[in-house]
């Protein structure tokens, strides 16, 4: 019996290592998925993805979902698109791309970010779109004069699907500061930028939409772009595109004040919904929920890339011995092995910095593994070191919020690939933050599931129903959740590991300088 696909919603997310699509039914349960693996590349000093792979990867991901569903898709209830926040994608009036896609991973806008932060009295991180734009201006890049539209990866895909130049407020909040009361870009800061540069950002930035608004419909060209077979028909409502931070909040039911979530994959970030104004910190971004509430964000450029690389080496070793190890099983076993390690990793230390890291003030990074001569160099400690390293920088930023700002967290949820293996990543994060961590059964679906929920909210919300109420009452009322609290010895071990980590940061800085 075929499904009524008009009662199903599709969420697509362009993640750092995978483009993934998730189809959910009217009960908000995932019923099919598809993905396409990819990786950013360092090209002429710029972290980027080629646009032909953006296009081909989207189509391959969608085709995989259709195959896994087992029936053709002619129509759907709604579609939503998400992507890695921030970055730089400029276009001219004819829609021609003017510069390579510059991702969130780049740390090449330090001068611009610093000057704008002082001008606005508001932290502008290096990866934000406005920092990229102003740095390009300061560098005298020739293409700047021709910019007619500046958007993000999600904003670009939304434009290709619908013809609409708009973005969800959470996605927009990674481009330029948002006035939560107005649900729009901060007008005073836009005027300050105009006075500084002569550029009216209203002319080139996406229009801001709130969760629940309709942000266009799939056009004929958009349908062919997504599904070149010609099966998919136009006219499907499309939700405002969102960033991976916003979809993570939706996927973990973390949109109310004093709730929070940690998304951990290629990068990791913690999102804490604020219940009051916070001070300005260079380590903390102020973004928004998909419905515009202020959120304190600790964003770290580096999380699982180094783990993935080491698992790849171990897989090679296994194959050399004649053992064909399935990659997912290998990850699971190695993650589980980490639970056997010493709480402080036994004198091992790792910096997982594939790129620069704003929280610790590094503009470039080099993966670096260290150990004391008398360290307990076991496989369990080796893996535990990599897992704690993936959370160390995040913890440094979180300490500013929970310490200096006295931010209280009622709930903390984890989602993303780091939490796929039951208990392991969850227990490590709990040891880092010293608080219980919850993981839902949909944690592995992450962003595309969250984007599907935002599209479902647009389609099925009641009159005057808030996003928080919709998620509470219609999505997560019966959700299966596992909550774990690390043992005191694990928390003490992480604290000892972090002390060594912070003391050794000069070694990481030196590695980036001498190993160029």
Tell me the pLDDT of the chain (516 aa) as tens digits. Answer: 688 999 999 999 999 889 999 999 999 999 999 999 998 898 999 999 999 999 999 999 999 999 999 999 999 999 999 999 999 999 999 999 999 999 988 989 999 999 999 999 999 999 999 999 999 999 999 999 999 999 999 999 999 999 999 999 999 999 999 999 999 999 999 999 999 999 999 999 999 999 999 999 999 999 999 999 999 999 999 999 999 989 989 998 999 988 888 988 888 888 889 887 788 888 889 999 999 999 998 988 899 999 999 999 999 999 999 998 888 899 999 999 999 999 999 999 999 999 899 889 898 999 999 999 999 999 999 999 999 999 999 999 999 888 888 887 777 898 878 888 999 999 999 999 888 899 887 655 678 999 999 999 999 999 999 999 999 999 998 888 899 999 999 999 999 999 999 999 999 999 999 998
User: What CA–CA distance (Å, rounded) separates 408 from 438?
Assistant: 16
User: What CA–CA distance (Å, rounded) separates 165 from 187?
Assistant: 19
| Cβ neighbours, 10 Å, residue 13 | 31
DSSP string covering 328-366: HHHHHHHHHHHTTS-TTGGGEEEE--SS-BTTTTBSS--
CA distances from 268 to 189, 263, 395 (A): 28, 5, 11
In a domain, 266, yes or no: no
In a domain, 267, yes or no: no
Residues 169 and 236 in one domain: yes
Strand bridging mode 481-484 / 437-440: antiparallel
Residues 24 and 146 in one domain: yes
The backbone torsions φ and ψ at residue 263, rounded to the nearest 5 degrees and listed phi first, read -105, 125
User: What CA–CA distance (Å, rounded) separates 444 from 35?
Assistant: 13
* 3-class SS of residue 508: helix
* Domain containing residue 312: 305-442+486-514
Residues 315 and 180 in one domain: no
Closest by CA to 152, choosing from 207, 106, 101, 110, is 101
Q: Structure tokens of 146?
A: 């021709």
Look at the chain and report how many structural domains it folds into: 2
Residues 243 and 373 in one domain: no
Residues 345 and 387 in one domain: yes
DSSP-assigned beta bridge partners for residue 184: 179
pLDDT at 324: 87
In a domain, 186, yes or no: yes
DSSP-assigned beta bridge partners for residue 185: 178
Q: How many CA atoms lie within 13 A of 496 on its CB side?
A: 14
Continuous segment of H or E residues that includes residue 244: helix 244-251
Closest by CA to 244, choosing from 105, 83, 103, is 83
pLDDT at 11: 98
In a domain, 345, yes or no: yes
Residues 490 and 350 in one domain: yes
Residues 342 and 447 in one domain: no
Sign for the CA dihedral angle at 103, 397, 262, 418 comes to positive
In a domain, 281, yes or no: no
Residues 327 and 433 in one domain: yes
The domain that contains 380 carries what CATH number? 3.30.420.40
pLDDT at 444: 54
pLDDT at 385: 98
User: What CA–CA distance (Å, rounded) separates 490 from 478?
Assistant: 31
Residues 187 and 324 in one domain: no
DSSP-assigned beta bridge partners for residue 237: 217
Residues 407 and 465 in one domain: no
User: What CA–CA distance (Å, rounded) separates 265 from 200?
Assistant: 36
Residues 86 and 225 in one domain: yes
Residues 236 and 381 in one domain: no
Burial, 142: exposed, middle or buried (Cβ in 10 Å; 0-12, 13-18, 19+)?
exposed
User: What CA–CA distance (Å, rounded) separates 302 from 265?
Assistant: 9
């Amino acid at each position: 019996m075929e499904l009524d696909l008009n009662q199903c919603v599709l969420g697509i997310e362009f993640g750092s290592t995978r483009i993934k699509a998730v189809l959910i039914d009217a009960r908000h349960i995932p019923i099919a998925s598809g993905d396409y693996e990819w990786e950013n590349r360092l090209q002429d000093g710029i972290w980027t993805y080629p646009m032909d792979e953006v296009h081909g990867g989207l189509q391959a991901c969608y085709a995989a979902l259709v195959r896994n569903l087992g029936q053709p898709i002619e129509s759907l209830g709604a579609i939503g698109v998400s992507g890695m926040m921030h970055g730089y994608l400029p276009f001219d009036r004819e829609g021609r791309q003017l510069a390579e896609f510059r991702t969130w991973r780049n740390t090449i806008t330090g001068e611009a970010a610093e000057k704008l932060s002082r001008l606005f009295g508001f932290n502008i991180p290096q990866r934000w779109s406005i920092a990229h734009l102003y740095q390009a201006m300061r560098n005298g890049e020739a293409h700047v004069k021709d910019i007619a539209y500046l958007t993000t990866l999600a904003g670009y895909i939304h434009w290709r699907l619908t013809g609409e130049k708009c973005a969800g407020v959470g996605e927009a909040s990674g481009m330029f500061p948002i006035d939560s009361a107005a649900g729009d870009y901060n007008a005073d800061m836009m005027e300050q930028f105009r006075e500084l540069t002569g550029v009216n950002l209203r002319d080139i930035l996406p229009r801001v939409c709130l969760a629940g608004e309709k942000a266009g419909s799939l056009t004929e060209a958009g349908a062919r772009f997504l599904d070149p077979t010609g099966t998919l028909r136009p006219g499907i409502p499309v939700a405002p595109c969102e960033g991976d931070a916003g979809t993570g909040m939706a996927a973990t039911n973390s949109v109310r004040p004093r709730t929070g979530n940690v998304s951990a994959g290629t990068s990791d970030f913690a999102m804490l919904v604020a219940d009051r104004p916070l001070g300005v910190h260079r380590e903390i971004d102020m973004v928004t929920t998909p419905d515009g509430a202020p959120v304190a964000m600790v964003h770290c450029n580096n999380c699982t890339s180094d783990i993935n690389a080491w698992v790849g080496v171990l897989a090679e070793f296994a194959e050399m011995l004649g053992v064909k190890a399935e990659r997912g099983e290998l990850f699971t076993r190695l993650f589980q092995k980490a639970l056997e390690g010493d709480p402080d990793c036994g004198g091992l230390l790792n910096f997982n910095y594939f790129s620069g890291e704003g929280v610790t003030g590094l503009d470039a990074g080099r993966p670096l593994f260290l150990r004391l001569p008398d360290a307990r160099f076991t496989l369990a400690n080796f893996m535990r070191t990599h897992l704690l390293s993936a959370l160390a920088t995040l913890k440094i930023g979180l300490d500013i919020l929970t310490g200096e700002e006295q931010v209280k967290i009622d709930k903390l949820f984890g989602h993303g690939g780091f939490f796929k293996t039951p208990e392991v990543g969850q227990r490590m994060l709990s040891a880092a933050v010293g608080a219980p961590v919850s993981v839902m059964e949909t944690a592995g679906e992450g962003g595309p599931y969250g984007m599907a929920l935002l599209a479902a909210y647009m389609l099925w919300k009641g009159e005057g129903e808030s996003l928080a109420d919709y998620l509470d009452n219609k999505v997560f009322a019966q959700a299966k959740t596992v909550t774990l609290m690390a043992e005191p010895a694990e928390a003490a071990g992480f604290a000892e590991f972090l002390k060594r980590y912070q003391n050794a940061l000069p070694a990481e800085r030196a590695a980036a300088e001498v190993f160029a």
